[in-house]
A = this chain, B = another copy of it.
Amino acid sequence: MEIELEKINPKFVELFTQTYGFTEAEFALFLTYFKPKTISKKDYYLRAGEVCKSKAYLNKGCARNFVLDDQGHERILFFAFEDWWLGDFDSYYSGKPGTNYVQILEDSELLVISKENFQKAEKEIPKLQQWYSSKMLRSASASRNRIEEMKTLSAEERYLKLMEQQPHIFQRIPLQYIACYLNIEPQSLSRIRHRLTNKH
């Protein structure tokens, strides 16, 4: 199955051709390693217990990445939108069954590249390594920042910060999931929102 260039998010093309300087030939080769895949709302790209054997570029749609805690409650680690990559980092690199669920929240289009194909691509296009080691760095750095936020901020402050930094989330994600992401009970989030709107 061929991937049609017109249907690909321009950011994808830009990332590899501009930022990482792929030649046209390299980019075309790189693309051949991907397979398009569509997943419907509420279905899963990945479940805990599975080994994550591919990276998936989220071309269109959105998803949530969560784990289950000891009591079986969902804990949302992050939401993914267009131009994000889906997967379970730890499982992908360790080759062991992972703990992450990736559930699709809107009918989505993915570009999936298997681990084998990615490794081939890496050998043929060494620039690829720069891309993912910088991605790794940013991911580690983002994790550290999120720890800080969870430790430092009150529920209300976490809500306000999210509103300020990623207001688009509120356009597409149900409040209950946002509450879970912020580690607030849905009832409490509702009260916080009530309090804030009545303040002014």
Report B-chain residues with C-beta under 8 Å of the C-beta of A146.
147
Counting contact residues on chain A (CB < 8 A from B), the size range is: 20 to 34
Query: How far in angstroms is the closest Cβ of chain B from A113?
Result: 19
> Is A190 an interface position by the 8 A CB rule?
no
* Interface members, chain A 145-167 (any B CB < 8 Å): 146-148, 150-152
Residue numbers in B under 8 Å from A75 (CB-CB)? 148, 151-152
Counting chain B CB atoms within 10 Å of each CB, the highest count among A70, A90, A144, A183 belongs to: A144
Say if the beta carbon of A39 comes within 8 Å of chain B. no
User: How far, in angstroms, from A144 to B143 measured CA to CA in the complex?
Assistant: 6
- Would you call the interface of chain A mostly helix, strand, loop, or mixed? helix
A137 on the B face (CB < 8 A):
yes
In the complex, A93 has a CB within 8 A of chain B: yes
A151 to B148, CA, bound (A): 11
Residue of B nearest to A157 (CB): B70
Q: How far apart are A180's CB and chain B's nearest CB, in angstroms?
A: 10
Assess the A148–B69 pair: CB atoms within 8 A: yes
Contact of A141 with B69 in the complex, beta carbons under 8 Å = no
Q: How far is the CB of A75 from chain B (nearest CB, A)?
A: 6
Contacts of A69 in B (CB 8 A): 148, 152
Contact B152 A70 (CB under 8 A): yes
| Interface flag for A25 (CB, 8 Å) | no
A77 within 8 A of B: yes
Cβ of A179 < 8 Å from any Cβ of B? no
Q: A140 — nearest CB in chain B belongs to which residue? A: B140
Q: Is A89 an interface residue (CB 8 A)?
A: yes
A61 → B minimal CB distance (Å) = 23
Minimum CB–CB distance for A103 against chain B, Å: 18
Jot down 8 A-B pairs with beta carbons below 8 A, ordered by A: A69-B148, A70-B152, A77-B144, A90-B144, A136-B136, A140-B140, A147-B147, A150-B150
